[in-house]
Amino acid sequence: MSSITALIDRQRAFFTAERTKPVEERRKRLLALRDAVKRHESALLEAVKRDMNKSEFEAFTTEIGLVYKEITHTLKRLSRWVKPKRVRTPLTHFGSSSYVMPEPYGVTLIIAPWNYPLQLALLPLVGAVAAGNTVVLKPSELAPHVADAIADVVAESFEPEWATAVLGGVETSTELLAQKTDYIFFTGSTAVGRIVMTAAAKHLTPVTLELGGKSPCIVHSDADLKLAARRIAFGKFTNAGQTCVAPDYVYVQREVKEALIAHLGEAIKELYGAEPLRNPSYTHIISDRHVERLSAFISGSGTVRIGGQTDAAQRAVAPTVLDGVDWSSPVMQEEIFGPVLPVLPYVKIEEVFEAVLARPKPLALYLFSGSRELQQHVVDRLSFGGGCINDTLMHFASPFLPIGGVGESGIGRYHGESTFDTFSHRKSVLRQTTLFDIPLRYPSASSFGLKVIRKLMR
C-alpha cells in the first residue's frame, strides 16, 4: 500500500468516525488556520517573492488578504449555512414537512495551480473544511517555496487525518487522481481539466473544474477611455497576466482604438514605470518554458505597440500591447496567460458577438461603456462565467459573487457560501406524520379518490 493510499484510508476512517461533523470543531480548525497564516505571513510573502517575484503589496492583496477575508466571511455565516432549510410541501403530501440539509461528501481532493499558489489552494480548503470534509491538498510543484510554506501552515492547523498537503509533481497528482475520493476540486488549464475529469469518471467522483479560456474585454466608443485603460492595465498585467480571469484580448470600437492604446501606454507607465523589467516589484513569469511561449506570441503576432521586451534570465516579460492581430494570429489560438494584450477593432457590436459566440464560452468578460442599454445587451447576448462592467477582476474579490466557468471554461462555483455549497451534498428529507394516514395514496383508493388525485396533481 502506497503512502497516499494509506493517507486516504486514514482520512476516510477519520471522517467515518464523524470527527469533522461538529460545527464547533470546524470553526476551531478555521480559526487555527487563520492563526497559522498570521504566524507564517512573513514566510508566505517571502515564498511568493522567491517563486514569482510578487511584491508584498500584490502578494497580500491578491493572495493572503483574500484568505483572511474568506475565513472571516465563513466564520460569521457558518452557523446559518449548516442549518437544514425548510422548503414547501405540496398539498398531495398533506401532513408532512420537507427540508434540505447540507452534509459533507467525505474525503476531498484539492489540486491547486501555481499562478496564485496561496489563495487558490487555501480558499477551497476553507470551504471544504467548513462543510465538514477531510482534505488532501496538492499545491503546485511549479511554485515550490509556496508549496513548502503551505504544507507548514496546514500541518500546524490540522491533524493529517483531517487535512494535509501532499507535495510532488505530475506523478503525485496522477497517483492522487487514481484514488477513490468523494470530491475533486481542480484549478488549472482546460487541457489538464479534461484529464482530471477522465480520472474522476472512473469512480464517478463529482468535480469542480476552475479552468480558463480567452476572456474578452470590450471597449465601446462611449467609455471613459482613460479610466478604462487604467483598469484594463490593472486587470491584464497584475501578476504579469498570469490570471485565469484576466482580460485575454481587447475588442475596441475602431474610432477610439488609437486613443485607447495611447491611454494604455500611460497607464502601464503609471503602474509599472517607464522600464517595467527594471521594476523590482514587477511579477515574473513562472518558468523558462512560459517565457519562450510568450516571446513567440510577441514575435509572431501583429505589431508591438507597447512593450515587447523580455529578460529570459529574470523570466520577465514587459507589459505588451499588440496591434494588427486577427483570429488567425498565433496569440489568438489559445489562452495567453501572460502580459501580452492583443487589441482588435470593431465597428458594430454584432462583430464582437459573432467572434465570441463562435468560440468556447469564456471564464470572464469585461465591458466598458456608459450605455445601460448596451451593457444589458452584452450581458444578455453572451455567456460567460462572470465579469465586470466598467472594471476588471474585481468580481473575483467578492465573497458574495460565485466564481466559476461555463462550458469549456469550467464546471461548478466557489467563493463564500458557494464554496460551502460546492463541498456539500444537499440531502432532501421528507418527514411524514403518523397521526393519520390518507388512503388516497394507495392503489385500493376508490374512483372518487382517483378523481381527487387528478385534481391535486394537475
Q: Give me the CATH topology for the region 216-402.
A: Aldehyde Dehydrogenase; Chain A, domain 2 (3.40.309)
Indicate the domain borders of the chain.
3-211+409-426, 216-402
Q: How far apart are CA 354 and CA 237, in angstroms?
A: 27
Task: Decide if 388 is catalytic.
Answer: no
String of DSSP letters for 73-103 = HHHHHHHHHTS-EEE---GGGTTEEEEEEEE
**CB neighbourhood size of 422 (10 A):** 23
Which of the following is catalytic: 58, 63, 161, 210?
Answer: 210
Predicted TM-score (pTM) of the model is: 0.95
String of DSSP letters for 182-250 = SEEEEES-HHHHHHHHHHHHHHT--EEEE-----EEEE-TTS-HHHHHHHHHHHHHGGGG--TTS--EE
Domain spanning 3-211+409-426: CATH 1.25.40.10: no
Backbone φ and ψ of 194, nearest 5°: -65, -40
pLDDT value at residue 423: 98
Residue recorded with cell 491578491: 62
pLDDT value at residue 93: 86
| Residues lower than pLDDT 70 in the chain | 1, 445-446, 449-450, 453
pLDDT in tens, 16-74: 999 999 999 999 999 999 999 999 999 999 999 999 999 999 999 999 999 999 999 99
295-316 burial, b at 16+ Cβ within 10 Å, e below that, comes to bebbeebbebbbbbebeeeebb
pLDDT value at residue 449: 65
Which of the following is catalytic: 58, 161, 217, 244?
Answer: 244
Task: Decide if 244 is catalytic.
Answer: yes
Q: How far apart are CA 425 and CA 439, in angstroms?
A: 34
pLDDT in tens, 73-130: 999 999 999 999 999 998 888 889 999 999 999 999 999 999 999 999 999 999 999 9
